[in-house]
Structure 1
Amino acid sequence: MDDRVITVDQDAQQTSLTWLTTPEMIDPRTSEDLAMCWRAVADAGGAVGFPFPPVDEDQVRSASATMIESLHPQRSRLLVASTSNTVSGWLLLRVNNNSLTQHWGEISRVQTSPQDRGTGIGRLLMGEAARCARDDLGLTQLHLAARGGLGLEEYYGRLGWREVGRWPDALRFSGTDHRDEVLMLLTLH
């Protein structure tokens, strides 16, 4: 379902989850909202690909444009959460083309805007991503890599994910600040 929209009522506010599967589905306003959410999350210390805040606005727009151009219904999908017509979070779901690994996909760039943290947006995004991967794409596993030292292992663990490995000290933020990259798996039933 390329244009699936799910509306969820939670805490007296409506959140819409929308799958965007082609670049043409993203209008200029949505493109800008995605980039600004990404920048706000990165500047707040989120582990979303820009580790050294503050983040340059043009750099985020460029990365966002590249991601949008990569969208394809069967290979790369963007799930956007909106509250009050504003992007409140999003994630990217990628599927493998290789016949040896086409049974699993990867979740990346999971983020909730700083003002929407703690409202359940992340849980909604992750739940819908798992449903789509299983029901729409026929996948049996999802993978993700998380930055160690932020409590993300525990967060994803509460959502049914399990840690399957680590790359020790894989991420270097400074001469003394090294973090593990935590490898996580969700088995889809």
Structure 2
Amino acid sequence: MPLTFTLDPAVTPELRDGILDLWADVSNAGGAVGFVPPVVPEDIRPSLVKHFASMAEGTVRLLVGFDEEGRVAATAFLTLNTHRLMTHWLWLYTVMVHPSHQGKGYGRDLLGAAAEAARGLDGIGAIRLTCRGGLGLERFYESCGYKEVGRIPGAIRVAPGDDRDDVIMLLPLH
């Protein structure tokens, strides 16, 4: 059953807790979303609060995928550029699909919904994201139309002695 995507859903305690649980589950399954396992939702809360503050300021939009039971199953944060020379593209952050839903095409659906949302924003011509090298994520994003446009070797330190490339990907929307 496909996910139902909502751009800018009302931030309720249920949504907040659903995102925290998703983020912890994705992180603990080895997902490259800013944390290294083990984590609990309380470890993630400060990062989510920052996203919510940026949403209140109007610089971030939240895209949520809900499963058939109404649970948070996927998210992406669309972050508008505030630099006056770069307002024609946005960043995609914290792209997550719950581990129990992976392999069902929901990641591709999430990226498609994010592209559709970005196309609906005035003046946006591209989406840019970064991903952690060494996990094969570049191949997935490339299969969704993104192109690798840069790579910073060893920029992400997952653990002492485990440095990964920071891979920059771009999706033109035209």
**Does the C-alpha gap of structure 1 residues 121 and 137 become closer, same or farther in structure 2, counting only changes over 3 Å?**
farther
Trace 1:149-188 onto structure 2 (pairs within 5 A): 149-188=134-173
Q: Unmatched 5+ residue regions in structure 2?
A: none
Q: Work out whether 1:87 is the aligned partner of 2:72.
A: yes
Moved over 3 A (4+): none
Which residue number corresponds to residue 35 of structure 1? 20
CA drift at 1:132: 1.6
TM-score of the superposition, structure 2-length normalised?
Answer: 0.93
Deviations 1:83-140 (A, max 9, x none): 1211111010011122200001000100001101111221111111111212333311
Summarize the alignment of residues 93-172 of structure 1 with structure 2, pairs less than 5 Å apart. Answer: 93-172=78-157
Distance in 1 between residues matched to 2:108 and 2:122, nearest whole Å: 20
Q: Is the 8 A contact 2:79 2:92 kept in 1?
A: yes
- Deviates further, 156-165 or 66-75: 66-75
Q: What is the CA-CA distance between 1:74 and the residue it aligns to?
A: 4.9
Conservation of the 8 A alpha-carbon contact between 2:133 and 2:165? yes
Structure 1 unaligned regions, length at least 5: 1-12
Give distance in 1, aligned partners of 2:162 and 2:73. 30
TM-score by length of 1: 0.86
Q: Measure, in 2, the Cα distance between the counterparts of 1:183 and 1:71.
A: 23
Alignment-derived partner of residue 17 in structure 1: 5
2:47 equivalent to 1:63: yes
In the alignment of these two chains, the number of paired residues is 173
Write the distance in 2 (CA, Å) between the matches of 1:154 and 1:73.
34
C-alpha RMSD over aligned residues: 1.5
Q: 1:78 to 1:147 in 2, by over 3 A?
A: same
1-structure distance, mates of 2:144, 2:58: 25
